[in-house]
Structure formats: C-alpha cells, structure tokens
C-alpha cells in the first residue's frame, strides 16, 4: 500500500500460477515469471492473473516466447 500511495507500481517475482494469484490478491500490478521452465510458467499465467506477466531468463527464439 505504501508503494502505491507513493506512486509506484508493484511487480512481484513468482514461480507458479498460485504465487501469481496470491501476489495479485495482495495488490501486485504485474508479475515476473521466474523458473527453470519460464516459458511454460508464462504460458500458465496467460489469462489467469489479470495483470501483465513478464518473464526473466533466456529464450531460445522469439517464436518460443510468443
């Protein structure tokens, strides 16, 4: 709440869809997927959390991330 009142957005690292739902419930403006299978996690987050989801890590190709 303090960060939002100060005008900041809150982005949370998540390792599962469950983590993402909890982060959003607690006020996250976006979630950052971080796992060994980051593309799989990012796919799992599509349409689940209702906020932007981005990924960290290395992608094989742009097609893999699409």
In whole angstroms, how far apart are CA 54 and each of 1, 25, 32, 33? Answer: 22, 18, 5, 6
Q: What would you report as the CA-atom Rg of the chain, rounded to the nearest whole angstrom?
A: 12
Residue-by-residue DSSP string for 8-55:
---EEEESSHHHHHHHHHTT-SEEEE-STTHHHHHHHHTTTSSS-EEE
pTM score over 0.85 = no
Q: Could you list the pLDDT tens digit for every one of the 66 residues in the chain?
A: 788 889 999 999 999 999 999 999 999 999 999 888 888 888 888 877 789 998 887 666 667 666
Proportion of the chain above pLDDT 90, given as a percent: 44
Closest CA to 34 of 48, 53, 52: 53
Mean pLDDT of the chain: 85
């Amino acid at each position: 709440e303090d960060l939002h009142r100060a005008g900041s957005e809150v982005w949370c690292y998540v390792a599962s869809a469950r983590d993402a739902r909890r982060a959003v419930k607690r006020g996250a403006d976006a979630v950052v997927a971080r796992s060994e299978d980051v593309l799989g996690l990012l796919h799992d987050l599509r349409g689940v959390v209702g906020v932007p989801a981005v990924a960290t890590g290395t992608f094989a190709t742009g097609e893999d991330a699409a």
